[in-house]
């Protein structure tokens, strides 16, 4: 379930919230993938990209895993962020 985004949320508070949501997933694989992405990329994201990442975090973990792993195509609105997450995951895996 998606958490409402507090209006006027300070960037540092938002980054902490998104980082915590990246760590507390439903399946271990997504914990690992999203924690890695959060640690490497989160602070680099623009406010618009943070909105996209927040939308990604609201998705079901089984769907997310299939999109990030390339088993299924991601929905168009989420595809750029999913591709970025997948790239970071692939680079980290070597």
Mean pLDDT of 58-74: 97
CA distances from 10 to 15, 16, 24, 47, 88 (A): 9, 10, 21, 11, 26
CATH topology for 26-93? DNA polymerase; domain 1 (1.10.150)
* Full-model pTM: 0.87
pLDDT in tens, 1-19: 445 555 678 999 999 999 9
Q: What residue spans define the domains of the chain?
A: 26-93
pLDDT band with cut points at 50, 70 and 90 for residue 78: very high
The two structure tokens encoding residue 38: 């959060």
pLDDT score recorded for residue 93: 74
Mean pLDDT of 68-89: 97
């Amino acid at each position: 379930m998606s958490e409402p985004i507090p209006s006027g949320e300070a960037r540092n508070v938002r980054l902490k919230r998104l980082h915590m949501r990246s760590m507390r997933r439903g399946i271990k694989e997504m914990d690992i993938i999203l924690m890695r992405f959060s640690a490497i990329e989160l602070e680099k994201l623009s406010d618009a990209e943070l909105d996209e990442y927040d939308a990604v975090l609201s998705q079901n973990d089984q769907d997310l895993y299939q999109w990030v792993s390339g088993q299924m195509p991601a929905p168009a609105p989420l595809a750029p962020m999913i591709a970025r997450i997948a790239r970071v995951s692939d680079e980290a895996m070597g």
